[in-house]
Amino acid sequence: MARLIDVHPVDPQPRRIEQALQILRDGGLIAYPTDSCFALGAMLGNADAKDRITRIRQLDDKHHFTLICSDFAQLGQLVQLDNAVFRAVKAATPGSYTFVLPATSEVPRRLMHPKKRTVGVRIPDHPVVSALLRGLGEPMLTSTLLLPGEEEPLTEGWAVKERLDHEVDAVIDSGECGVDPTTVVDFSEGYPQVVRVGAGEPSRFT
């Protein structure tokens, strides 16, 4: 059964955050709220968790996994950015955007798109996620918690636990979460292509 961890949405309790971090370090998979909607998260080196996310969401091999980062310096180690893309991405972070970019050698090959060698990256604007990432000290593998055949993500921790009680190891509950996933902007060709409209305002990239 998944552990339900209640965390204050604005001032996350360090002890509760540490409980979630220990589950991640022990190889666990968590469901957690973000500035867009609930997501699934695990440590980058956790190959089993990637497979679990793939099963839960019934993803194919063309799916772009996302690496969620605590700051721009961390993001810059994972993807290749020219000056124009750097400025555009920097201006929109932190926020509810995922950016698809060519991956650097820091990214495990199994997390890249198999043909394009790209990966999604983002910096969230959410106190709970920021606290998690600071404590972890490295990016986290993540994917929107949108279940197969459903139009909208689940919005509350108790509902996530009820649905995924035997699929994840912990659920962080910090109150109701949004229903819109991130806006996805593909910069892999050197210019912005909005491939999914979500919580982030897309007009700045169109």
Q: Tens of pLDDT along 48-85? A: 999 999 999 999 877 888 999 999 999 999 999 999 99
Q: What is the pLDDT of residue 206?
A: 84
Q: What integer is the mean pLDDT of 105-111?
A: 90
**3-class DSSP state for residue 44?**
coil
- The mean of the pLDDT values for the chain is 93
Q: Kindly tell me if the per-residue pLDDT of 122 is higher than 90.
A: yes
Inter-residue contact 31 to 173 (CB < 8 Å): no
pTM higher than 0.85 for the full model?
Answer: yes
Q: Kindly tell me if the per-residue pLDDT of 193 is higher than 80.
A: yes
Q: What integer is the mean pLDDT of 100-125?
A: 92
**3-class DSSP state for residue 86?**
helix
For residue 78, give every residue at least 6 positions away whose Cβ sits within 8 Å of its Cβ, in sequence order, or none: 67, 69, 103, 104, 106, 107, 119, 121, 139
Q: Which domains does the chain have, with CATH numbers?
A: 3-205 (3.90.870.10)
The residue count for the chain: 206
Q: How far apart are alpha carbons 198 and 34 in whole angstroms?
A: 13
Q: Kindly tell me if the per-residue pLDDT of 116 is higher than 80.
A: yes
